[in-house]
Amino acid sequence: DVKVTQSSRYLVKRTGEKVFLECVQDMDHENMFWYRQDPGLGLRLIYFSYDVKMKEKGDIPEGYSVSREKKERFSLILESASTNQTSMYLCASSLMAGLWEKLFFGSGTQLSVL
């Protein structure tokens, strides 16, 4: 079974800190995604990547950057964390782009920025 692993389940950071959220998948999937999920707003796409060293902006990229140096790893970076970035962050991967691609999600990182 596909395993998508996020490095931390809970994270508490201070305003202005640089924050790294790590995600690793073990099934050689081409595509990786970062979403955030907030009550009443649902899942919103931050960034995605269809290949190593390749990235594309999603719906809400402001305040975030990403890195994909290896196929299995996709990192989300908050350059200077702010309180409005307190959220549940979900990483996902899929085998290949296509109309019926199935997303596999990690268990999420609940980030609190104080």
The count of residues interacting with another protein (CB under 8 A) is: 19
- Stretch of 19-27, 63-71, 72-80, 92-100 contacting another protein, by CB under 8 A: 92-100
- What are phi and psi for residue 90, nearest 5 degrees? -120, 130
Closer to another protein by Cβ: residue 14 or 57: 57
The one-letter amino acid code at 40 reads G
Residue 102 exposed, middle or buried by CB count within 10 Å (0-12, 13-18, 19+): exposed
Beta bridge partners of 97: none
Interface mask toward another protein for 23-62; x: CB under 8 A: -----------------xxxxxx----------x-x----
CB of 99 to another protein, least distance (A): 4
The Cα 16–Cα 85 span in angstroms is 11
CB of 57 to another protein, least distance (A): 9
